[in-house]
């Protein structure tokens, strides 16, 4: 399958060419508007001409071979046309028709399976079905099914969407400039992961935008993410499904299988993918990154405004969105004090006062002073650029920016408006030309700044750029007993207290003496998960008689609790002193593989949900980030004068659990190590539950 | 002082009238554009005509008396002009000049004090200084200092701002429609609280918008908030200062004293004031409330969209912003199933599919079906209205909405776009006419929905609509000893274990026997706050000898810790069993009075910051809301099968502490009751620290 035949075809044919509104007519009009005449043919058995262009009766009548067939006709005609196109050399197709798996009906699903099989046997790279086609703005190829006024949208954002409506909205936004815009529909033959890979490889694409409902094949998806992470090409993803309702909608919309949403977050963190929450954030993050001539070299921001009100808003929005404002150094402060009116205070965010916006040289000087500050990575100038220009300030400010940005050492600059409006095209373009994007309205603008900061702060070398996907069906649930679980976990370097499983009173007496006191006795049974509730845990046993009694009680209670329980015996363990109570867990995601969770134990995880996730394999610095992103990390770092706990040992444990999970991914459903006590030196796990998948 | 002379003057005079750009020229041009000729005069000693209008040499030359003088001349001329205007009957003035307290200089501060004194003695209601003037859109009075193209912005949002730039930006936004737009500047004579009160009383103002940096007088501010809460007039406030940086900027900008920010949140919650984070949210929340013909009768939302992608975005944004989606009832689901294409699923958020937008009747029917659902309070239709109309869908959708909204029983409807753009004026106006606001882009739109939902959910009768402001200087810090603190707190019905202060070994022996065991012994000294660190706490004393030893040790350790400490003796208390550890605290805010805090004790408050605030006096239902807004409330409600704790008793304690704090507000700086154990039945406080202000 050759995706170049689809996205970079030399010759295309529109089947179902027409002059009527609808797929056929709109596609033909787009083709005629944007493509050279010698690159396309029209086919319709009932017409000899469409909009004055010769129309052939059938594909077989075409005078030369073609690469791509764009099928505008109804669903039942599609497969025959594919065959015909193949005979004329086609290696690719676009299918607009719906009526496939997205209907959720048996008929639709079968129809899609048949279509996929046909494409495989004909070696055809098919876009769709249930899609709106694509634009290739570099080679000027259009197969897009929706019409608009003629417009130039050539640029460097490569966009692929599983929603036709969102593709359309994005293309209708005057600020967007694309290398490719792809409405992938059900993406059942050429998949989202293949489009992504194409755009990562494409030299004309600087930033990739995706609207993603779910992926089909994890491995190629991850490979593409990895390539992008290494070459630092930004990928910005709008993936719905954060909410339960959103997941259901994504599943029913294009029939995508959508993994657990938080696991996607872990995936995106690993590869430095920027995740956004809506279309405007997607568009403006991509365009900002495309317009900037270079990325900031550090994630700290300077904010420069013309009024106290706007400066206050920037201060607050910065805090709300987690932006780091640079602390100006003394020289910056002194130089600003000399330049600005007496009543201005040289803080960051900075209120320069409105007077400065009417003086090209002074405004430029202020920019220079702030840019040269060593802490500043990016400068955000506040100004509400409107469509209608009443205030001449923008004229002077633009001149200042043109002057300053000429210097190749100039740091990146963005403009932040405070009310919604279509931005004046002339000034937007002048600013864009010197690398200054006009961001969307303040709240969105700060989301964009945060996205850029996160992209800058990401360092691929800190991450293990792999994802391990289980091959089997990991749905089954088959718990091991505690001692079996501990044996496996212990073999990966997680320390437990000495534990022995005893099966007779003789053994009890012998081992109790050997192990020393205090001891803990617990049932060892794969059938009794809630051991305390069943009366099968006895703590703080200080004498052999107590241990003997505990043994008898536990066996008795276990059989009372579940009379057919499989009982391996009773575990005797040395009691350990308590430390800071933590947990490590694993859930094996069917699509993305083992996902490691860590957190503080007890109410912290259950009530405060203070946990963090990392997708296996987890590198040491990924594990460190996981621990540091816990709110409760303060407790580990020495709280109220107590000594700091051994975070290093806990981080090692996470890495070891990740190894375990990766090596066992085909046989493990989940794993819980709860609690693990973290001490000033070292750690000790107390309980473990390993759930097998067999 | 008569604020009507300022905001509703019959006759005004512009002093410093001019044809040049700047305050004088721009104000004159605005006056001529918007006001009737017989309502204004121009004065300038150096001109006899301005833009063809007669110009007088001085105010005294005017042929009749005036209400308002608008002073466009420099700072040093202002006070003389005020005197002259007063002589001509003026009761009000607008002063644009800066150079007052906002400069932060001694000279500026003195100048402002002098200006205030002059206004007081002349009984002049002054707007400014350092302001941009105002528009009264009802009576068409303009004193605004910045020029724009002629435009009709008459409407029902009353806006007052401490930032001229933000006032200007708001007025430049094509979507805004005002009753009043006021740039109040330093608001040193007529205060923000007086403008607020005016707008609350004003019949033409339906919604109030404020940009607030700080208030001067709490009482009139609170009175105005109370009036608005009772008559349900929405007040939407943009108050910067959430962040430390923001607070500093607000303080330096107009010299406003800005109270602790979180206390403002508590104030706003009490009175149902909507707080927003930036200008766009302020504008669009106000306009949405102004355009809706009625507020929803319940806070639940239905979302209706034309594509799966948009529906997924709405599902996720709803969850992010805390929107409650109604669950459609069976009849709604059945009727939607009948109406919608086979492949659509009748969920909420609802993907109706694009086909529906091309059918006026079907779209209207879908709206009807959803509106009639008993759970739905408001319907949000998703559609990206652009300035240029390419897609005819909006034509049909607007017709459908016009049809449906004709019914007086129709529920409120808003439109949510997904990309930024200036909205098409024709369709915006048609929709607005039938009460359908076009909200800003999705992320902002959901903020607006949340604001409306919160306003609808607010019930004034649940709140004690008072705020008690201390009269003295409450900055001093003078702690009481623990036993003194407990005596005061205990007298407000907060139970403590029996506590006796002993001063001799004889007393120790006698009381220990009488009180019973186990006992706790602690130093009682206002000079030793950290009793445990000083070795001045002995727990779990079970015999008179242990108590005697403890007594001696504690006295010795106390003197070792601080040899000149005032020592009242040693407290003996009965030890209490531990329960769920909570805290109640009070901080007496100089501007807004005692603010009550509650939370879970220990790490929960210190690491997780899980606390909630209520401004005293706190009603019982306010106290309930405080407790219920804690994340940790789950622990109180019965966690992992444990019995629920006595939340009622804890709520009572909060109300009692609020009473204490209110009655002691002139003498108390702060109070900490930590811990309070909450049991299955009842509560018991263990320690208290009362800090006096004398």
- Check which CATH number belongs to the domain holding A642 and give it: 3.30.470.20
Instruction: Mark yes or no for CB contact A632/B608 under 8 Å.
Output: yes
Tokens of B229: 């809460």
Q: Is A528 within a domain?
A: yes
Burial of residue A462, with CB atoms counted within 10 A of its CB: 0-12 exposed, 13-18 middle, 19 or more buried: middle
Residue A497's contacts (CB-CB under 8 Å, 6 or more residues apart) are A573, A574, A575, A576, A684, A686
CB B478 within 8 A of CB B667: no
Nearest residue of chain A to residue B278 (CA atoms): A313
Of A173, A279, A345, the CB nearest to B313: A279
- A591 and A512 co-located in one domain: no
SS3 B12: strand
For residue B568, the domain's CATH number is 3.30.1490.20
- Each residue's pLDDT tens digit, B111-129: 999 999 999 999 999 999 9
Residue A471 in any domain: the answer is no
d(CA B69, CA B62) in angstroms, rounded, equals 12
Enter the tokens of residue A359: 């003086």
Q: What is the pLDDT of residues B146-175, one digit of tens each?
A: 888 888 899 999 999 999 889 999 999 989
B211, A309: Cβ pair inside 8 Å?
yes
B608 contacts in chain A (CB < 8 Å): 608, 610, 631-632
* CB-based burial label for A298 (10 Å; 0-12, 13-18, 19+): middle
**Residue B82 — φ and ψ, nearest 5°?**
-60, -45
**A contacts of B630 (beta carbons < 8 Å):** none
Q: Does residue B478 belong to any structural domain of this protein?
A: no
| Residue A466 domain flag | no
Residues A340 and A443 in one domain: yes
Given pLDDT bands bounded at 50, 70 and 90, which one contains residue B256?
A: very low
Residues A281 and A322 in one domain: no
Q: For the beta carbon of residue A90, count every other beta carbon within 10 angstroms.
A: 28
Q: What tens digit of pLDDT does each residue of B290-349 get?
A: 999 999 999 999 999 998 899 999 999 999 999 999 999 999 999 999 999 877 889 999
Please check whether residue A488 lies inside any domain of the structure: no
Q: State both tokens at B242.
A: 């959430």
How many pairs of residues across A and B have Cβ atoms under 8 Å apart? 286
User: How far B182 CA sits from the closest chain A CA (Å)?
Assistant: 15
Q: Residue B480: inside a domain, yes or no?
A: no
* Residue A460 located in a structural domain: no
Residues of A in contact with B103 (CB under 8 A): 342-343
What 8-state DSSP symbol labels residue A329?
Answer: P
Write down the pLDDT at residue B250. 62
Q: What is the mean pLDDT of residues B280-286?
A: 98
Residues B163 and B85 placed together within one structural domain of the fold: no
Q: Looking at the 3D structure of chain A, how many domains does it have?
A: 5
Helices (H), A434-543: 442-457, 482-490, 505-515
Do A95 and A205 have their domain in common? no
> Does A328 lie in the same domain as A411?
yes
Contact (CB<8Å) B442/A280 = yes
Residues of B in contact with A607 (CB under 8 A): 631-632, 634-635, 639
Mean pLDDT of chain B: 93
Residue A343's pLDDT is 74
Residue A354, CA atoms < 13 Å, CB-side half-sphere = 18
Claim to verify: residue B58 and residue B170 sit in the same structural domain = no
**Contact indicator for A349, A477 with CB cutoff of 8 Å:** no
pLDDT for A256 equals 45
CA distance B149 to chain A (A): 8
pLDDT at A342: 78
Residue among B246, B312, B640 whose CB faces A240 most closely: B312
For residue A106, the domain's CATH number is 3.40.50.720
What strands lie across the sheet with A68-71, from one edge to the other?
A49-50, A53-56, A40-43, A12-15, A68-71, A92-95, A125-127
pLDDT confidence of residue B149: 81
Range of the structural domain that residue A631 is part of:
580-693
Measured distance CA(A656)–CA(A14) in Å, rounded: 57
Q: Rounded CA gap, A465 and A475, in Å?
A: 26
Closest listed residue to residue B43, CA positions, set B35, B53, B34: B53
| Per-residue DSSP letter, A666 | T
Q: Which residue of B has its CA nearest to A632?
A: B607
pLDDT for position A170: 93
Which chain B residues are Cβ-neighbours of A211 within 8 angstroms? Answer: 309
State how far the Cα of A72 lies from the Cα of A132, in Å rounded to an integer: 10
Q: Decide if B484 is inside a domain.
A: no
Residue found by looking up tokens 């860590």 in the block: A598
What's CA B15's distance to the chain center, in Å?
A: 37
State the pLDDT at residue A82. 97
Where is the domain boundary, A539, A574, A609? A574
Answer yes or no: do A316 and B277 touch at CB < 8 A: yes
pLDDT average, residue stretch B568-596: 93
Mutate to test the interface with B, among A22, A253, A262, A278 (most CBs of B within 10 A): A278
Measured CA distances, B10 to B44, B60, B391 (Å): 21, 18, 49
**Interchain CB distance below 8 Å, A418 and B278:** yes
Token pair 């293949």: residue: A194
B169 and B286, same domain (yes or no): yes
Mutant choice from B312, B441, B533, B630 vs A, greatest count of A C-beta within 10 A: B312
Percent of chain B with pLDDT over 70: 97
- E strand segments, B314-393: 350-351, 378-382
Residues of A in contact with B440 (CB under 8 A): 420, 441
Q: Which long-range contacts (CB under 8 A, 24 or more apart) does A612-615 make?
A: A613/A262, A613/A263, A613/A265, A613/A266, A614/A266, A614/A269, A614/A270, A614/A654, A614/A658, A615/A263, A615/A266, A615/A267, A615/A270, A615/A467
Q: Do residues B282 and B407 share a domain?
A: no
CATH of residue B202? 3.40.50.261
- Identify all chain A residues contacting B310, using CB atoms and an 8 Å cutoff: 163, 165-166
Are B112 and B208 in a shared domain? Answer: no
- Cβ distance B632 to A280 less than 8 Å, yes or no, reads no
The SS3 of residue A508 is helix
CA dist., res. A431 & res. A112, Å (int): 47
Cβ separation of B345 and A252 shorter than 8 Å?
Answer: yes
Is the complex ipTM higher than 0.85? yes
Enumerate the residues of chain B whose CB falls inside 8 A of the CB of residue A170: 419
Is it true that the peptide bond before B675 is cis, omega within 30 degrees of 0?
yes
Domain boundary among B546, B574, B602: B574
Alpha helices in B101-237 (DSSP H): 106-122, 164-172, 192-201, 218-231
A400 and A305 part of one domain: yes
Pairing of the two strands A235-239 and A207-212: parallel
Q: Which are the contacts of B84, defined by CB distance < 8 A and separation ≥ 6? A: B58, B59, B60
* Tens of pLDDT, residues B606-630: 788 889 999 999 999 999 999 999 9
pLDDT at residue number B414 = 98
Asked whether residue B249 carries a pLDDT value surpassing 70, the answer given is no
Residues B188 and B58 in one domain: no
Q: What is the pLDDT of residues B64-122, one digit of tens each?
A: 999 999 999 999 999 999 999 999 999 999 999 999 998 888 999 999 999 999 999 99
* CB-based contact A103 B342, cutoff 8 Å: yes
Q: Chain B: residue nearest A314 by CA?
A: B246
In eight-state DSSP terms, residue A215 is -
CB contact under 8 A, A313 and B387: no
Tell me, what's the pLDDT at B57? 97
Closest C-alpha among A567, A592, A561, A604 to residue A661: A592
Structure tokens at B60: 């005294």
The answer to whether the Cβ–Cβ distance between A249 and B418 falls below 8 Å is no
| Cβ pair A312:B253 closer than 8 A | yes
Nearest to B418 among A162, A169, A343 (CB): A169
Interface probe for A, chosen from B106, B171, B184, B249 (most Cβ of A below 10 Å), is B249
CA distance A236 to A228: 11
Pairwise CB contact (< 8 Å): B320 & A277: yes
| Last-in-domain residue among A574, A599, A632 | A574
- pLDDT computed for residue B606 by the predictor: 79
Over residues B444-467, the mean pLDDT reads: 97
Q: Rounded to whole angstroms, what are the CA distances from B612 to B622, B677, B690?
A: 11, 18, 20
| pLDDT value, residue B150 | 84
Sequence-ordered list of residues with C-beta below 8 angstroms from that of B64, at least 6 positions apart, any chain:
B11
Query: Which residues lie across from A485 on neighbouring strands?
Result: none
Consecutive sets of 10 residues in chain A, 694 residues long: mean pLDDT of each? Answer: 96 97 94 96 96 96 97 96 97 96 90 97 96 95 88 95 92 93 95 97 97 91 98 96 73 52 94 97 98 96 94 95 96 95 86 87 96 97 91 92 96 97 93 97 98 97 94 77 96 96 93 94 91 92 94 94 93 94 93 93 82 95 97 89 93 98 93 95 96 84
Chain B residues within an 8 Å CB radius of A582: none
């Amino acid at each position: 399958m050759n995706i170049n035949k689809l996205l970079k075809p030399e010759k295309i044919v529109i089947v179902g060419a027409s002059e009527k509104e609808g797929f056929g007519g709109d596609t033909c009009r787009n083709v005629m508007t944007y493509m050279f005449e010698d690159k396309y043919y029209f086919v319709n058995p009932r017409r000899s001409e469409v909009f004055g262009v010769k129309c052939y009766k059938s594909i077989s009548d075409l005078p030369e071979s073609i690469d791509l067939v764009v099928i505008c006709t109804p669903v039942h005609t599609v497969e025959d046309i594919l065959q015909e196109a193949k005979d004329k050399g086609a290696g690719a197709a676009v299918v607009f028709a719906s009526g496939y798996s997205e209907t959720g009906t048996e008929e639709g699903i079968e129809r899609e399976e048949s279509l996929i099989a046909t494409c495989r046997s004909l070696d055809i790279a098919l876009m769709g079905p249930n899609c709106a086609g694509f634009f290739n703005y570099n080679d000027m190829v259009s197969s897009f099914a929706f019409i608009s006024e003629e417009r130039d949208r050539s640029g460097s954002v490569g966009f692929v969407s599983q929603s036709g409506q969102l593709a359309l909205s994005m293309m209708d936004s005057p600020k967007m400039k694309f290398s490719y815009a792809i409405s992938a529909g059900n993406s059942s033959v050429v998949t989202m992961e293949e489009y992504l890979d194409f755009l990562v490889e494409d030299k004309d694409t600087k930033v990739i935008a995706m609207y993603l409902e779910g992926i089909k094949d994890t491995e190629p998806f991850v490979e593409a993410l990895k390539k992008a992470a290494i070459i630092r090409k930004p990928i910005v993803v709008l993936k719905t499904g954060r909410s339960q309702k959103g997941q259901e909608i994504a599943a029913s919309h294009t029939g995508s299988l959508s993994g657990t949403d938080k696991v996607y977050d872990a995936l995106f963190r690993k590869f430095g993918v920027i995740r956004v929450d809506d279309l405007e954030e997607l568009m403006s993050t991509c365009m900002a990154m495309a317009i900037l001539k270079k990325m900031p070299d550090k994630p700290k921001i300077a904010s420069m405004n013309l009024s106290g009100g706007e400066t206050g808003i920037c201060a607050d929005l910065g805090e709300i969105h987690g932006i780091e404002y640079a602390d100006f150094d003394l020289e910056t402060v002194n130089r600003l004090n000399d330049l600005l009116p007496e009543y201005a205070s040289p803080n960051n965010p900075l209120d320069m006062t409105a007077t400065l916006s009417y003086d090209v040289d002074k405004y430029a000087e202020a920019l220079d002073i702030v840019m040269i500050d060593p802490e500043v990575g990016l400068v955000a100038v506040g100004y509400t650029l409107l469509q209608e220009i009443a205030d001449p300030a923008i004229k002077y400010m633009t001149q200042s920016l043109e002057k300053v940005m000429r210097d190749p050492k100039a740091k990146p600059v963005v403009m932040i408006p405070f009310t919604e409006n279509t931005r004046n095209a002339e000034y937007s373009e002048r600013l864009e030309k010197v690398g200054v994007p006009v961001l969307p309205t303040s709240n969105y603008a700060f989301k964009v700044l945060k996205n850029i900061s996160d992209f800058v702060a990401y360092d691929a070398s800190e991450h293990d750029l792999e994802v391990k996907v289980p091959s089997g069906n990991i749905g089954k649930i088959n718990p091991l007993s505690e001692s079996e679980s501990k044996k496996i976990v212990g073999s990966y370097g997680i320390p437990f207290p000495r534990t022995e499983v005893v099966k007779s009173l003789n053994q009890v007496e012998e081992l109790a003496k050997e192990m020393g006191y205090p001891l803990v006795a617990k049932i060892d049974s794969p059938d009794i998960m809630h051991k305390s509730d069943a009366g099968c845990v006895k703590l703080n046993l200080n004498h052999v008689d107590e241990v003997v009694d505990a043994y008898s009680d536990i066996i008795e209670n276990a059989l009372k609790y579940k009379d057919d329980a499989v009982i391996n015996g009773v575990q005797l363990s040395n009691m350990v002193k308590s430390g800071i109570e933590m947990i490590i867990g694993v859930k094996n995601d069917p699509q993305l593989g083992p996902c490691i969770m860590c957190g503080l134990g007890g109410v912290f995880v259950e009530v405060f949900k203070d946990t963090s996730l990392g997708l296996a394999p987890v590198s040491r610095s990924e594990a460190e980030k996981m621990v540091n992103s816990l709110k409760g990390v303060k407790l580990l770092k020495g709280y109220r004068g107590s000594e700091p706990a051994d975070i290093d040992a806990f981080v090692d444990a996470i890495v070891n659990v990740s190894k375990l999970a990766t090596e066992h991914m085909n046989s493990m459903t989940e794993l819980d190590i709860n609690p693990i006590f973290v001490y000033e030196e070292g750690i000790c796990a107390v309980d473990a539950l390993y759930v097998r998948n067999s």
